[in-house]
A and B are shown apart, each in its own frame.
Chain A
Amino acid sequence: MPVLRRFLGTAEGIAGGAILLAIAITAVLASVLFPGDPLAIVAEPMLQPFQHQDAILGTDRLGRDVLAELVHGARTSLLVGLAAAFAAIAVGATVGTIAGFAGGLVDEALMRVTEAFQTVPGFLLALALVSVVGPSLPVVVTAIAASAWTQPARIARAEVLSIRERDYVASARAIGMHPAEIAFREVLPNALPPVLTLASVIVANAILIEAALSFLGLGDPNIVTWGGMIAEGRVVLRGAPYLSIFPGLALVATVLGVYLTGEGVVEALASGRSR
């Protein structure tokens, strides 16, 4: 695994990997660390942080354990971020491959649709979709993906345009392979690497959009989200600012971890190529 070794050789890779690993482990073990419903009332409301043993980070307005909520919130953030990014890249790569490989009118039509999606501010689009369909986790993921698939589509298309002229594509045609098979089995896999370098930015953006949606009250109401916690804490901003500050710090750490990991991967791949 030379790429992994090079990745761990970069400062960004180590820092980002460590942050993400810690948050991922927390998310996976959430139900073990804090069994039961994190939205259940466990103690007196508005306990100060770092003063009580059973609620280390204190409790919120309703007496819910802030630390339990934070730990379970990690799950939502990572899940939504990864699922939305996966959907965005899958849709984007497919659309981009079809546009680039088919060319002509199909290409023209698909690119106009892509442009239309890019013209509407992504956050407003997600907001409109969730507000029309109703807030639930799958809808939030779909809405975020709908606002994020355009960039992968453009990059995949540009890549496919250059790949489709290569010799191996011509020979695939010569042996009578179906065009769809050439596009998705020969061309698409080779067009993916530059699209995947975008993955970290897309995951990070997805996490931030999910947080903003939940902050505006458009998250799934039955699931703990960091954005929702910040909105809750905002009501008592004067008396208990930490209720808004803690989940925000968790968000910053997660997104920074994603960015740093992405930087580390890009650096590792670049140094591998130059050698």
Chain B
Amino acid sequence: MNRALRLVRRRLITAIPVIGLVIIGAFLLLEAAPGDAVDAYILSLGGADANMVAELRASWGLDQSPWARLLAYLAALARGDLGWSVSFSRPILDIILERLPNTLLLMSASTALSFMLGSALGIFAGARPGSLRDRLLSVGSLALYAIPGFWLALVLVIFFSINLRWLPLSGIETIASGKHGFDRALDIGRHLVLPVASLGIIYLALYLRMMRAGMAEVWRQDFIRAAQAKGLSRQRIVLRHVARNALLPVVTMLGLQSAAMLGGSVVIESVFAVPGLGRLASEAVASRDTPLLLGIVLVSALVVIAINLMVDIAYALLDPRVGAAEAS
């Protein structure tokens, strides 16, 4: 456990400058965008005279130098204040925190689907490298990876929602259904089938390919020959020796892929009107709400860092070699 804690501490220390750079980048984009917070606020009021505008600018510190503005921005962020959204007329942090759980639910379900199905198919392909099924799955996974997520989502909608009418078209739950407890969970589940499938199926290919490549690598090692010589059954060799050793690098992909999944959820949530962070991003773009969009960018960077940290801890627990070298 000590080992995992040390790893966490080191990761957090390297994360600080990274977060700082992301914040500075967000600030620069905010400065580059036309209009400032006062313009936005005045717009939401419906107009104000020039005196009031100047006073507001002075009291919000917007008439000062860029450095002073950056410091004010940092101070606000430190208080957890991401600014004010004009399009929602609410504090940005509140909106984001309201939407975040839906996206995390969508992401975790899609990740589970793509990781489990992908590595299972990868084991199936990697059990016999070079065989027909291996080649078919390899090309098939490339084809999957070539599909744009939003288009797959639309095709699934055409099939399952419009033609077959099996699944709901959009949203996260039936509006005003009055459902509670298990019924409500089931309702949300039904709404999430298509978004999770669209997001999960595409990234499945990645896990499949990594698993397969890892297994092809392990097959060449001496201990596999030893296991064969010992007379172990093929199934036991494939599962206990080859697949198990190939699985660890695939686990690291889980963290690295989280950023791609978050990006992918923008279009998927927009197609299915899932009220999550991704749909919020496209709403922010549509209503030209730059502070909101950059708030989302900041929060998603934090989410990505947090997920990678969790994957690191899991990795340290799975593999006793990780972090052991620094103990000495």
Point out residues on A near B: beta carbons under 8 Å.
Answer: 12, 112-113, 115-116, 118-125, 127-129, 131-133, 204, 208, 211-212, 215-218, 227, 230, 234, 237-238, 241, 244-245, 248, 251-252, 255-256, 258-260, 263
Other 11 A-B pairs with CB < 8 A, given A123-B266, A260-B142: A112-B18, A116-B21, A119-B259, A127-B266, A132-B32, A217-B285, A227-B148, A245-B158, A252-B146, A252-B147, A256-B142
B285 and A237: CB pair below 8 A?
Answer: no
A212 and B21: CB pair below 8 A?
Answer: no
A275 to chain B, nearest CB (A): 19
A116 is contacted by which of B18, B32, B158, B285 (Cβ under 8 Å)?
B18
Given contacts A119-B301, A123-B264, A124-B266, contact A230 B150 (CB under 8 A): yes
Closest to B143 in A: A256
Residues of B119-154 at the interface with A, using a CB-CB cut-off of 8 Å, are 139, 142-143, 145-151, 154
Does B1 count as interface, using CB distance less than 8 angstroms? no
**Can you list 20 A-B contacts (CB < 8 A)?**
A119-B305, A121-B259, A121-B262, A122-B259, A122-B263, A123-B263, A124-B281, A132-B29, A204-B146, A211-B150, A212-B148, A212-B149, A212-B267, A216-B267, A216-B270, A227-B150, A237-B154, A251-B146, A252-B148, A255-B146
B142 and A263: CB pair below 8 A?
Answer: yes
A131 and B288: CB pair below 8 A?
Answer: yes
B259 and A252: CB pair below 8 A?
Answer: no
Please, how many angstroms separate the alpha-carbon atoms of A259 and B143 in the complex?
9
B142 and A237: CB pair below 8 A?
Answer: no
List the A side residues contacting B290 at CB < 8 Å.
131-132
List the A side residues contacting B150 at CB < 8 Å.
211-212, 215, 227, 230
B151 is contacted by which of A132, A133, A244 (Cβ under 8 Å)?
A244
Please, how many angstroms separate the alpha-carbon atoms of A230 and B305 in the complex?
33
Main secondary structure of the interface of B (DSSP, over half): helix
Closest to A210 in B: B148
Please, how many angstroms separate the alpha-carbon atoms of A10 and B103 in the complex?
42
A133 and B32: CB pair below 8 A?
Answer: yes
Please, how many angstroms separate the alpha-carbon atoms of A237 and B296 in the complex?
30
A112 is contacted by which of B17, B151, B157 (Cβ under 8 Å)?
B17
List the B side residues contacting A252 at CB < 8 Å.
143, 146-148, 151
List the A side residues contacting B32 at CB < 8 Å.
132-133
Given contacts A116-B18, A120-B300, A237-B154, contact A217 B267 (CB under 8 A): no
List the A side residues contacting B151 at CB < 8 Å.
211, 230, 244, 248, 251-252
Please, how many angstroms separate the alpha-carbon atoms of A259 and B142 in the complex?
7
B304 is contacted by which of A12, A119, A132 (Cβ under 8 Å)?
A119
Does B25 count as interface, using CB distance less than 8 angstroms? yes
Given contacts A122-B263, A237-B154, contact A128 B297 (CB under 8 A): yes
Please, how many angstroms separate the alpha-carbon atoms of A268 and B296 in the complex?
43
List the B side residues contacting A113 at CB < 8 Å.
21
Interface string of B239-271 (1 = CB under 8 A from A): 000000000000000000001101110110010
Given contacts A116-B18, A116-B22, A129-B29, contact A241 B263 (CB under 8 A): no
Please, how many angstroms separate the alpha-carbon atoms of A241 and B19 in the complex?
44
List the A side residues contacting B281 at CB < 8 Å.
124, 127
List the B side residues contacting A120 at CB < 8 Å.
22, 25, 259, 297, 300-301, 304
Does B155 count as interface, using CB distance less than 8 angstroms? yes
Please, how many angstroms separate the alpha-carbon atoms of A133 and B296 in the complex?
18
